Amino acid sequence: MDRFLNLFDLSILTNAVIIAIPALICITVHELAHGYTAYKLGDDTAKKMGRLTLNPFKHIDILGLAMILLVGFGWAKPVPVDIRKFKRPNAYMAITALAGPLSNILLAVPVMFLFFIVMPYENLNAFLYDYTFGSPSIIYLIIFRMALLNVMLALFNLLPIPPLDGSKVLFSFLPEKVYDKLLDYERYGMILILFLVFSGRFLSVDILAIILVEPATYIFFGIADFVQSVVAYFV
């Protein structure tokens, strides 16, 4: 984990660019996936509000953007979903919720391969593990962070804490009256998330780091090891 954090020990401006660009792309794709899935399942609320777009300015939440710049991880403005427009409210809400994390996993895969394509093979091992080949290009850093951040965002949103996507999937298995009641307490879950982030626990060695950051890091570097082995075999 330390090697990942140390990689971004750059100037404030450069670091902000490396953080903001991947984050905006990741959360925009995430929210678009929610809105488009809801639309295909019968809810046109997001479409009417102009949220079925890749324009990040339509999805930006001011506090979430500030958190992205301050701690490197934040959130977008949630896409509105009217569960009453679904023929099967609980099931369709679960599908809509899962679409966000799934979109990030699907985006992470081609971004990872793009990283392996643009990074010269002779520098790949040094970049991933030692950082001994000098100051890496900002393009390498942006692509690298985007790949890792997509995995982190997917795992983060699958946590069963309201209003995260994982809670909506979990709640969908409950009776409708209980489901509606739990939705009323979503704001308290957000307070919990904010507390964890502002307390500094999100990026330290605690339960969230163990659940979220470490698995995402190991997934990425596991793929890196595999690709390197394949490339080495043919080279």
Alpha carbons 183 and 86: distance in angstroms, whole number: 16
Report whether 167 contacts 138 (CB < 8 A).
no
Q: Is the dihedral of CA 52, 57, 58, 64 positive or negative?
A: positive
Any residues with CB less than 8 A from the CB of 118 and at least 6 apart, and which? 139, 140, 143
Indicate which residues carry an active-site annotation: 31
**What DSSP character marks residue 54?**
S
Alpha carbons 24 and 5: distance in angstroms, whole number: 19
